[in-house]
C-alpha cells in the first residue's frame, strides 16, 4: 500500500530536518545541479525550525565544504575503494571530512553518528552508503590529513588552498610563488563584517548605536566612512533599517571616492545593481542626479529599495538597459561622471563566494574582457569634456584589469589615466589594484580616465 503524505505533513517533515540534513541537501544541489549555494541554502533554511545556532552551523558546513572541496576530495585519496554512485554519498563524505579536520569543537564520534543517520535517511533501506561512509571516515581518522609533496608547488598549493591548478599557476605567474601563497591563504580566511556609514547621517551617533548593540565597531584601515564589525547580523538592526549604514566591502567603497564631485553633476552608473555604489554616489549629489542602469529590471528594484532605505531616492533614476547601448538611448546627452563597475569573473570575491574558484576558467577572463571593452567604448561617447570615467572590477585578473585599460587607451587616444588620492590610500598611476591579502578585503581594481585636454 502506498503511503500518502499531504502537503502539511511534507511541510512538517521539512521543518524537522537537522542542520546537517539541510546542509547535505544544499550541497547535493550545488554539486549535482550547479545551484547557487546562497540561494539553495536560504531556500532550505526558510522552511526549517532550526535555532540560530543550528542555522549558523548549517551555513558553516555548506560554505566550508564548498570552500575546501579540492582539499577534502584529496583526503579521500586511497580511502574510497568503490565508485560512489548514489548522489548524496560524495557530498556526505566531503561534509563529514570537513567536520573531522576543521571543526575541533565537533567530536569525531558525533560526526560519525550523524553521517550514519544521514546515509540511512538519504540512501534508503537498500543503500550501501551507510557501510561505505562508516568505513571511509574511520579510516580517515586513523590515517589523518595529507597533502601533496611540496616539491610540486602548484599541486601542493592547489590542494592546500583548495584552488584549481590553473588559477594557482596564474597567480604564481603574475605575482610569484611567495605572494601566491599569501594570496591563496588569505582567500580562505573569513570575510570581514564591513559596513559603510552614510555621509547623510550623524556618524558618531550611529557608531554609538553599534557599540550599544555589541558590534564593537572599528575604523577601516583602508577606506573612510567604513567600519569593521565584530560579527554579522547588522541588517536586522535599526541603524541599517533606518539607512544610517549599508553593508559594503572596504575596497568596493573606494571606487566612488575616486571621483571628484562638486555636488550638482549628472552621473551615470552603467552597471548599478544592487545599488551600493549608486547610493554612495547619490550621497555626494545634493543638487545632482545619478542615472542607474542594469540590463534586468528585476535587479533595478534592489537599486530603488536601497536608494529609498538610504534616503537618496530623489537623486536616483533607474533605467533597464544594456550598457552597450547607452550612446543610442542617451544620444546628444552628456554625463559629467560615469562609473563602469563592470561585469567580471569575481575572482576578488573568492573569500565570500567560494564556488567561483571552481566555475571560472582562463577562457572566461578573455570573454569578459570583450564585454568590458565594449561597455567602455559605448559609455565613453557620452562623457562630457573634462568629465571623469571610473572603471572598476571585483577581480584581480590582469586580463580584466590592466589589459582592459591598455586596450581602451590604445583605441581611445583622447583619454588618459588620472592619478587619484583617497582618504587613506592613493594611486600615482591612475590605477589601483588591491589584492585579497593586501588589507584582508575583497580583491578590487580601479582605473580613472579623463578626456585628454
Is 394 one of the catalytic residues?
yes
Per-residue b or e along 21-46, where b marks 16 or more CB atoms closer than 10 Å to that residue's CB: bbbbbbbbbbbeeebebbebbeebbe
- Tell me 343's DSSP state: -
* Residue corresponding to grid cell 586580463: 399
Q: Which three cell numbers stand for residue 192?
A: 570581514
The answer to whether 415 and 408 are in contact (CB under 8 A) is yes
Q: Which of 389, 394, 404, 447 is catalytic?
A: 394
Closest CA to 440 of 195, 191, 123: 191
Q: Which three cell numbers stand for residue 129?
A: 552508503
Burial class (CB in 10 A: 0-12, 13-18, 19+), 410: exposed
- CA-CA distances (angstroms) from residue 227 to 192, 246, 252? 10, 10, 13
- CA-CA distances (angstroms) from residue 367 to 236, 272, 371? 39, 21, 7
The values of phi and psi at residue 150, to 5°, are -70, -15
- Three-point CA angle 381, 290, 191, nearest 5°: 105
User: How many angstroms separate the CA atoms of 223 and 425, rounded?
Assistant: 8
Closest CA to 399 of 436, 349, 361: 361
User: How many angstroms separate the CA atoms of 206 and 204, rounded?
Assistant: 5
Q: Which positions are annotated as active-site residues?
A: 394
Amino acid at each position: 500500500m502506498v503511503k500518502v503524505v499531504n502537503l502539511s505533513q511534507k511541510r512538517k517533515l521539512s521543518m524537522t530536518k537537522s542542520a546537517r540534513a539541510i546542509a547535505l541537501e544544499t550541497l547535493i544541489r550545488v554539486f549535482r545541479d550547479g545551484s547557487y549555494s546562497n540561494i539553495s541554502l536560504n531556500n532550505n533554511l526558510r522552511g526549517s525550525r532550526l535555532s540560530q545556532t543550528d542555522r549558523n552551523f548549517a551555513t558553516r558546513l555548506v560554505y566550508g565544504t564548498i570552500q575546501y572541496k579540492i582539499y577534502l576530495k584529496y583526503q579521500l585519496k586511497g580511502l574510497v575503494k568503490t565508485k560512489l554512485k548514489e548522489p548524496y554519498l560524495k557530498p556526505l563524505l566531503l561534509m563529514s571530512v570537513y567536520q573531522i579536520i576543521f571543526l575541533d569543537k565537533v567530536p569525531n564520534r558525533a560526526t560519525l553518528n550523524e553521517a550514519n543517520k544521514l546515509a540511512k535517511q538519504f540512501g534508503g533501506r537498500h543503500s550501501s552508503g551507510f557501510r561505505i561512509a562508516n568505513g571511509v571516515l574511520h579510516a580517515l581518522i586513523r590515517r589523518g590529513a595529507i597533502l601533496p609533496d611540496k616539491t610540486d608547488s602548484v599541486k601542493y598549493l592547489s590542494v592546500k588552498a583548495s584552488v584549481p591548478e590553473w588559477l594557482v599557476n596564474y597567480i604564481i605567474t603574475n605575482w610569484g610563488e611567495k605572494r601566491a601563497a599569501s594570496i591563496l591563504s588569505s582567500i580562505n580566511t573569513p570575510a570581514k563584517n564591513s559596513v559603510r556609514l552614510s555621509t547623510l547621517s550623524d556618524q558618531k551617533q550611529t557608531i554609538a548605536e553599534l557599540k550599544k548593540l555589541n558590534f564593537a565597531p572599528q575604523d577601516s584601515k583602508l577606506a573612510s566612512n567604513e567600519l569593521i564589525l565584530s560579527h554579522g547580523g547588522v541588517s536586522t538592526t535599526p541603524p541599517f533599517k533606518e539607512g544610517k549604514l549599508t553593508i559594503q566591502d572596504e575596497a568596493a567603497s573606494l571606487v566612488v571616492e575616486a571621483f571628484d564631485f562638486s555636488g550638482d553633476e549628472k552621473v551615470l552608473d552603467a552597471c548599478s545593481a544592487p545599488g551600493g555604489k549608486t547610493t554612495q554616489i547619490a550621497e555626494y549629489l545634493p543638487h545632482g542626479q545619478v542615472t542607474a542602469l542594469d540590463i534586468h529590471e528585476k535587479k533595478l528594484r534592489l537599486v530603488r529599495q536601497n536608494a529609498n532605505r538610504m534616503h537618496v531616492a530623489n537623486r536616483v533614476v533607474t533605467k533597464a538597459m544594456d550598457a552597450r547601448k547607452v550612446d543610442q538611448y542617451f544620444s546628444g546627452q552628456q554625463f559629467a561622471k560615469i562609473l563602469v563597475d563592470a561585469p567580471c569573473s569575481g575572482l576578488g570575491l573568492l573569500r565570500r563566494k567560494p564556488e567561483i574558484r571552481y566555475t571560472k576558467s582562463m577562457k572566461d577572463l578573455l570573454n569578459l574582457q570583450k564585454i568590458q571593452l565594449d561597455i567602455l567604448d559605448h559609455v565613453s561617447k557620452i562623457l562630457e569634456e573634462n568629465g571623469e570615467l571610473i572603471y572598476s572590477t571585483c577581480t584581480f585578473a590582469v586580463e580584466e584589469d590592466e589589459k582592459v585599460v591598455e586596450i581602451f587607451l590604445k583605441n581611445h587616444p583622447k583619454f588618459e589615466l588620472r592619478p587619484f588620492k583617497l582618504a587613506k590610500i592613493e594611486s600615482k598611476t591612475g590605477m589601483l589594484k588591491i589584492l585579497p591579502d593586501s588589507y584582508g578585503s575583497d580583491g578590487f581594481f580601479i582605473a580613472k580616465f579623463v578626456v585628454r585636454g
